[in-house]
Structure 1
Amino acid sequence: MNTRGDDGTGWSRRRVLVLGLATVVAGAGYALWQRPNSAEQPKLGAAQAFSATQAGALTLVDIRTPKEWRATGVPLDSHQIDMRRADFEPQLLAALGGDKHAPVALICARGVRSARQARLLADMGFSNVVDVAEGMLGSAEGPGWIARKLPVARWPAE
């Protein structure tokens, strides 16, 4: 006689249901975290970001890693601030002259990290942040900075 309410394997239906539900919720949360919310995030194409940077209308910040900067070069006239740095916010503020309302565009490899970082900065009070959604290497938003043959500089600068 089975008094444990299971099928003999130690797994009750309730336990399986709860575990399955927890897996679905965790998976959905992860998927939402991985996918930028494009509806609320202002975007700019790579060519428009380059033009605005050259005109002095915004500050372009490459948030990729030094390894990525070395491999592809960096957008001409951009600031390089690795988003993983503990002092990312103060470094960004310094690049913006201390003004959280100054226009800034973030670029990464394919637009995922820059979209996520732009949302985080907006939550921190930066009011004029845009995402270069096609990134350096291209994405569904466009071919990217490099494929558009926009100018890059070597990193580190020699």
Structure 2
Amino acid sequence: MMILRFPLKRQALALFAGLLLTACLSEAGPTLTAPEANDQARTGALTLIDIRTPEEWRQTGVAEGAVRIEMRNPKGPDGFAEAVLAEVKGDRNAPIALICRTGNRTTYMQKELEARGFTHVYNIKEGMVGSAAGPGWIKRGLPVQACKQC
């Protein structure tokens, strides 16, 4: 049996990387289930934003009432934040819920918006098609609008 021995410096670096990863994961922002987001969007309590691509919108449709703002922006996260800010009429305190395919991109963009001063950004971690966080908007039978001209 071969035992690998790493220099103390590498062990410390590995430990630091693990702690950093744990800190990043523990700072996840607030989440909503798909039904919660649907209910709040229907009553006007929040703005629901689908951050996927036009191709994805055409494939599955878009959550009813969702605003389509593609995550990929020529200006990067700043351009995305500008588009979101325009949608909420300049109010960084307006409640916003982000949805994507499976919750990965929304996790990233939630942090980007928070870093730019948005205060009420919710992540629908189960996304449109489901993830470990839940079955997803579509499987839950929540309303979807076709998006043929996206």
Identify the TM-score tier after normalising by the shorter chain.
0.7 to 0.9
Structure 2 residue aligned with 1:108: 100
Matched, 1:125 2:117: yes
* Equivalent position SS for 1:141: coil
Matched, 1:41 2:33: no
Structure 2 residue aligned with 1:61: 49
Deviations 1:39-78 (A, max 9, x none): 5310000000000000000000001111111110000000
Q: How does 1:1-150 map to 2 (within 5 A)?
A: 21=10, 32=21, 37=25, 39-85=27-73, 86=75, 87-150=79-142
**How high is the TM-score relative to the length of structure 1?**
0.76
TM-superposed CA distance for 1:120, in Å, is 1.2
* Equivalent position SS for 2:49: strand
CA distance in 2, matches of 1:41, 1:84: 21
CA distance in 2, matches of 1:91, 1:40: 23
What are structure 1's unaligned runs of at least 5 residues?
1-15
Computed over aligned residues only, the root mean square deviation of the Cα atoms, in angstroms, reads 2.8
User: Which aligned segments of 4 or more residues in structure 1 are displaced greater than 6 angstroms?
Assistant: none
**How high is the TM-score relative to the length of structure 2?**
0.80
Larger radius of gyration: 1
CA distance in 2, matches of 1:139, 1:152: 18
TM-superposed CA distance for 1:38, in Å, is 5.4
TM-superposed CA distance for 1:115, in Å, is 1.0
TM-superposed CA distance for 1:157, in Å, is 5.4
CA distance in 1, matches of 2:26, 2:56: 24
Number of aligned positions between the proteins: 139
CA distance in 2, matches of 1:105, 1:135: 11
